[in-house]
């Protein structure tokens, strides 16, 4: 049996801004936003952030994929079908004007 794995904690102003709540799902999403920023450096635009989000897999989720157990499917599903979508939705709400301007000018 594998011993319990501990993961580094991450925090960021963007994560706190997008997910100011204290419930489990807000804290988890805040952590994942912060982890993405820490692992991928200076993301300068909302568009770049959303592009990275599409291919990003949080360390905790990747660990579950690499070391499957009874909760792997649920963890991966929650990331892909709930948390990632929530991060995208909050980013689009917060940066809607910037995203629309970039889209209309053809930027990525």
The torsion region of residue 41 among left (phi > 0), alpha (psi -120 to 50) and beta comes to left
Mean pLDDT, all residues of the chain: 91
Average pLDDT over residues 1-12: 80
Domain boundaries, the chain: 13-104
Percent of the chain with pLDDT over 70: 94
Helices then strands, counting H and E runs in the chain, come out as 7, 0
Model pTM score: 0.87
Tell me which H or E stretch contains 22.
none
Q: Long-range contacts made by residues 36-43, C-beta under 8 angstroms, separation at least 24?
A: 37/10, 37/12, 38/10, 38/12
Summarize pLDDT for 10-55 with one digit per residue, the tens. Answer: 999 999 999 999 999 999 999 999 999 999 877 889 999 999 999 9
Residue 17 is encoded by which pair of tokens? 């801004």
Q: What is the DSSP letter of 45?
A: S
25 and 83 Cβ atoms separated by less than 8 Å? yes
């Amino acid at each position: 049996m594998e011993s319990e794995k501990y993961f580094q904690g991450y925090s960021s102003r963007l994560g706190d801004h997008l997910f100011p709540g204290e419930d489990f799902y807000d804290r988890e999403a805040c952590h994942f936003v912060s982890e993405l920023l820490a692992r991928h450096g200076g993301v300068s635009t909302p568009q770049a952030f959303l592009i990275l989000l599409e291919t990003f897999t949080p360390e905790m989720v990747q660990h579950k994929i690499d070391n499957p157990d009874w909760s792997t499917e649920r963890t991966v599903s929650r990331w892909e079908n709930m948390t990632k979508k929530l991060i995208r939705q909050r980013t689009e709400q917060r940066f809607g004007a910037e995203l629309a301007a970039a889209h209309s000018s053809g930027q990525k």
